[in-house]
């Protein structure tokens, strides 16, 4: 297994921004369009963080034009350029899958004071 760990180490990012479940994050994504490269923003609530090492992923959920949108992002991927914490959330669960069934005010996470 040591060989695998050594390979994975080359691709791990030195530093991952500090955030926790329930936070609203703004993620800068590198998108390639033909030869041009641009940055796309995706803002949503962090509802799950899974995996370890190179396989660590985050799931962001947002409501876009009254339709729920979720994106699963690989944390160590070079596509994920930067992560900003917009708002801290006050939650009790590690996975906020219950938000999928809620609408309106109940589908919101309380702000951490």
Partner 1 sequence: MKTMRMGLLGKKIGMTRIFKENVTIPITVIETGPCAVTKKKSPDKDGYGAIQIGFDECSEKKMTKPVAGQFQKSKVSPRRVLNEIRLSEDELAKYAIGQEIKVDSVFSAGDIIDVVGTSKGSGFTGVIKRHNFKSFKETHGTHEVKRHGGSIGAAFPQHVLKGTRMAGQHGNSRTTLQNLEIVEVRPDENLLFVKGSIPGAKGGYVMVKKAVKL
Binding residues for partner 1 (CB under 8 A): 1, 3-4, 7-8, 11, 30, 32, 54-55, 74, 76-79
Q: Which is nearer to partner 1, 78 or 104 (CB)?
A: 78
Q: Tell me the closest approach of the beta carbon of residue 5 to partner 1, in angstroms.
A: 9
Asked if 45 contacts 22 with a C-beta cutoff of 8 angstroms, the reply is yes
What ranges in the chain are assigned the alpha helix state H? 2-11
Q: Tell me the closest approach of the beta carbon of residue 78 to partner 1, in angstroms.
A: 5
CA 75 to CA 54: how far, in whole Å?
8
Q: Tell me the closest approach of the beta carbon of residue 76 to partner 1, in angstroms.
A: 8
Q: Which is nearer to partner 1, 1 or 92 (CB)?
A: 1
Q: Tell me the closest approach of the beta carbon of residue 25 to partner 1, in angstroms.
A: 19
Q: Which helix (H) or strand (E) holds 73?
A: strand 67-74
Q: Which is nearer to partner 1, 30 or 62 (CB)?
A: 30
Nearest CA-CA partner of 92 in 72, 75, 70, 112: 112
Backbone φ and ψ of 50, nearest 5°:
-130, 160
């Amino acid at each position: 297994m040591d060989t695998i760990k050594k390979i994975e180490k080359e691709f791990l990012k030195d530093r991952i921004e500090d955030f926790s479940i329930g936070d609203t994050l703004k993620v800068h994504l590198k998108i390639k369009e033909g030869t041009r490269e641009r940055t796309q923003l995706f803002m949503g609530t962090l509802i799950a963080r899974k995996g370890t090492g190179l396989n660590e992923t985050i799931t962001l959920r947002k409501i876009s034009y009254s339709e729920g949108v979720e994106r699963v992002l690989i944390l160590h991927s070079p596509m994920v350029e930067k992560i900003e914490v917009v708002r801290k959330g006050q939650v009790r669960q590690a996975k906020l899958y219950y938000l999928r069934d809620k609408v309106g005010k109940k589908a919101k996470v309380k702000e951490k004071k």
